[in-house]
Amino acid sequence: MTIKPRHPEKVNKPVNPIKKKPEWIRSQIVDSQVFFQTKQVVNQNNLVTVCQEANCPNITECWSKKHATFMIMGDTCTRACAFCDVKTGKPTSLDIFEPTKISNAVKTLNLKHVVITSVDRDDLVDGGSDHFYKVVCATRKKNPNTSIEVLTPDFLRKGDSYKKVLKADLDVFNHNIETVPSLYTTVRPGARYFASLELLKNAKNFNKKVFTKSGIMVGLGEDKDEIIQVMDDLRSAEVDFITIGQYLQPSPKHHPLNRYYHPDEFKELKYIAKTKGFLLVASSPLTRSSYHADEDFRKLQVARNKQLECHPHQ
């Protein structure tokens, strides 16, 4: 006797089917030897990049320009955010040679700007802030003319450990807010919206010379008013630079994509954000935290200088 499933329509059916991408979301295909040179440097130094681990759509374009975002403290995250493609589990111990490896890779690639991020390490007493400090210090020592940007976790329940990162000689402190408050319990359950805002605010207060930066994904189910509220909250925290990009669902197991935003909508969001007073706004379907980060850092410097000319006592 054959037993029929109670819900035959659900058998082998993905939880959240992935919507077909619109014609305006197309990654650039670049046939370049530089791409393979970048890949070789990453592999030879046994490094992890968020470009690979998070399945970034811009990897071909960025690596063809020697732009790789290094992910420190392993490839395994202690959290399971519903939007992220980085694997979750029990991380390995920290690599004490990683600061040297990162600094060597930056030197070999001759980077003018480098972005250093990490997985969440809730298992560590300080959330990994001391390791961030060591990586930045080693990178700065070997590459004195390279601007350094960090994209950190939220250091939730780790007290003032974030301050150790800001004591290093860095140029940009980035922490992504990711989404609107109403979606946190499903999209980013291990984090707290106001804790992330507080981190960004405290970072700016602790080191006024450092640019602060944050990013948000759209297409998860938020509405326009909620996005604008996030902009206002980030400006209240004195964030200098906001990135706005399209959420791309990594797999049927991840948070469902609500909809794709049209490029014109990204232009509108950019205009609104600029009126809020951000020094710089990057808003497009393929915008990511470290996409064009080197060019954007130069734009930030120009914007800051113009601001100081207009308001010399700031």
pLDDT at 289: 84
Q: In 3D, which of 294, 244, 252, 295 has the Cα closest to residue 17?
A: 252
- Condensed to tens digits (0 to 9), the pLDDT of residues 185-194 reads 999 999 999 9
Q: Which residue has the tokens 């399945």?
A: 55
Under-50 pLDDT residues of the chain: 1-13, 53
* Global confidence as pTM: 0.88
pLDDT at 35: 66
pLDDT at 95: 94
Calculate the CA 16 to chain-centre distance: 24
Please, what is the average pLDDT of the chain?
A: 87
Q: Which residue has the tokens 């970072």?
A: 203
Across the beta sheet with 280-283, the strand order is: 69-72, 113-118, 147-151, 172-174, 211-218, 241-246, 280-283
Q: How many whole angstroms separate alpha carbon 92 and alpha carbon 259?
A: 37
pLDDT at 110: 85
pLDDT at 65: 61
- Condensed to tens digits (0 to 9), the pLDDT of residues 82-111 reads 998 888 999 999 999 999 999 998 998 888
DSSP 260: P
Residue 207, burial from CB neighbour count under 10 angstroms (0-12, 13-18, 19+) = middle
Taking the CB of residue 36, how many other CB atoms lie within 10 A of it?
11
Q: How many whole angstroms separate alpha carbon 203 and alpha carbon 288?
A: 21
CATH number for region 32-305: 3.20.20.70
- Condensed to tens digits (0 to 9), the pLDDT of residues 98-151 reads 999 999 989 988 888 999 999 999 999 999 999 999 999 999 999 999 999 999
